């Protein structure tokens, strides 16, 4: 695990003892800190009985504490911990901030921070894979993989590759990334930002604001095209060095035919971003190309499950909003011969199709599910055949029944999962199970 003398003798409260919270407590205890830990679930507290104080931070005097460490899932705009800690002038932080404070005690290394509304998980995993392909010691953490404080420190010359959600950035104040990547910003998670898109965008931008002089920022083309004031602000800045994919990688400069795990236009963007990170670390072009060829992709992200009777089944359950589903649909041919049998629905984040509206000529048929399935069906129906199926099982049966040779059954919900599933992973696994059952019966 990652430990630091910076924590020794200090007092911390840790609220939430799931994976990152538990790893945080272990790292702080191993560093000689005094820890008060709490989780509403008794089973989560059991591992720390007799090892640290167990008490709800909202019920104790926080005078003198160095920080209250919370999970990124804690909504700072509504949870009482933020105003309560403020009464004692105690910062509310996350495990990424503790990692940032521990960096001085680690062997010399670099940090890549990757954020954006869509694509950050794939880009993070791809950067990590390219570095590993080139023989550079690296780990990935943050919003992907194992909690960063629970991982072993890298040797000298290593690279920590961090996927960072806006929630994690909100809890981080001193992370000075050697390379910061901002892929895109589109409306999402606005309930955490009081419905204000500008607040959400400002959260993403803070990753750059934390960088020190002359560090590198890589902007996705989407930022250049759609978040121009933010882009222009940093282009004029003398504090950081800016690279933009829109200028450095024209769309015809890389060929993705040999990238089986990176299909679709959105994954070309992710590949471009990862390629620029490789260039920043002087990775040989051929090693970067090898990394792109051998990357297997991530589960639930344009994951090709099987081809059965000349019909391809793709699990894109991670697509929880319109902007993340749009490139998945765009990856397949439009009229006059649309091939996509699209399973869509759940808890919608928009009142209409948004960026999907112009892509309905790619859709041979839509099969809608979940709480807002009827809304999706009504929005799609004028431009493409659509039917409300309520459940994933019903939609799968109808999509498969309608599919003809050469079609793609695409499960890309464009909505949150919590109406019918535990999370997007549970939702994607249920789709996988349906495909595998179909294959066994074939």
Backbone angles phi, psi at 164, to 5 degrees: -130, 115
* Helix 265-280 / helix 285-294 crossing angle, nearest 10 deg: 140
Catalytic residue check, 120: yes
Q: Which residue is catalytic, options 10, 79, 109, 189? A: 189
Catalytic residue check, 252: no
Determine the 3-state secondary structure of 408 from DSSP.
strand
Q: Which residue is catalytic, options 118, 128, 129, 143? A: 143
CB 123 within 8 A of CB 160: no
Helical ranges in 31-68 per DSSP H:
42-45
CB atoms within 10 A of CB 304: 14
- Per the document, the length of the chain is 442
Question: What CA dihedral angle connects 87, 90, 95 and 98, to 10 degrees?
Answer: 170
**Region at 435 (left for phi over 0; alpha for psi -120 to 50; beta for the rest):** alpha
Q: Which residue is catalytic, options 110, 118, 120, 321? A: 120
Catalytic residue check, 266: no
Count of H-run helices and E-run strands, the chain: 16, 17
Determine the 3-state secondary structure of 351 from DSSP.
coil
Question: What CA dihedral angle connects 142, 223, 356 and 117, to 10 degrees?
Answer: 10
Exposure of 437 in the CB half-sphere (CA atoms within 13 A) = 10
CB 277 within 8 A of CB 127: yes
Active-site residue list: 120, 143, 189
């Amino acid at each position: 695990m990652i430990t630091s003398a910076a924590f020794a003798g200090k007092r911390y409260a840790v609220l939430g003892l799931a994976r990152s919270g538990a790893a945080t407590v272990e790292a702080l205890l191993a560093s000689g800190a005094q820890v008060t830990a709490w989780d509403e679930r008794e089973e989560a507290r059991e591992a720390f009985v007799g090892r640290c104080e167990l008490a709800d931070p909202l019920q104790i005097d926080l005078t003198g504490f160095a920080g209250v460490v919370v999970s990124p899932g804690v909504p700072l705009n509504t949870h009482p911990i933020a105003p309560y800690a403020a009464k004692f002038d105690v910062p509310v932080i996350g495990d990424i901030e503790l990692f940032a404070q521990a960096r001085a005690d680690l062997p010399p290394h670099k940090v890549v921070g990757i954020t954006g509304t869509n694509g950050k998980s794939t880009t993070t995993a791809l950067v990590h894979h390219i570095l590993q392909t080139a023989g550079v010691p690296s780990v990935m953490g943050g919003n992907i993989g194992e909690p960063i404080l629970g991982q072993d420190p890298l040797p000298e010359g290593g690279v920590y590759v961090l996927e960072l959600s806006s929630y994690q950035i909100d809890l981080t104040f001193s992370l000075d990334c050697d390379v910061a990547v901002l892929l895109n910003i589109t409306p999402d998670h606005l309930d955490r930002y009081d419905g204000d898109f500008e607040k959400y965008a400002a959260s993403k931008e803070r990753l750059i604001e934390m960088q020190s002089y002359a560090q590198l920022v890589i902007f996705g083309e989407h930022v250049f095209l759609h978040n121009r004031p933010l882009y222009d602000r940093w282009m004029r800045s003398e504090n950081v060095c800016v690279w933009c994919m829109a200028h450095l990688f024209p769309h015809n400069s890389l060929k993705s035919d040999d990238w089986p795990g990176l299909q679709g236009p959105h994954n070309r963007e992710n590949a471009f971003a990862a390629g620029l990170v490789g260039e920043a670390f002087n990775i040989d072009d051929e090693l970067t190309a090898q990394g792109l060829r051998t990357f297997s992709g991530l589960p639930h992200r344009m994951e090709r499950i099987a081809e059965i009777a000349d019909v391809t089944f793709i699990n894109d359950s991670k697509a929880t909003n319109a902007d993340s589903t749009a490139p998945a649909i765009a990856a397949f041919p439009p009229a006059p011969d649309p091939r996509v049998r699209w399973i869509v629905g759940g808890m919608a984040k928009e009142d209409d199709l948004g960026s999907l509206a112009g892509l309905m000529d790619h859709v041979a048929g839509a099969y809608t599910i979940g709480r807002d399935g009827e809304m999706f069906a009504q929005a799609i129906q004028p431009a493409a055949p659509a039917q409300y199926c309520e459940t994933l099982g019903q939609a799968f049966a109808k999509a498969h029944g309608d599919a003809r040779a050469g079609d793609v059954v695409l499960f890309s919900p464009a909505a949150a999962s919590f109406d019918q599933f535990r999370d997007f992973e549970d939702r994607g696994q249920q789709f996988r199970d349906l495909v595998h059952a179909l294959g066994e019966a074939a």
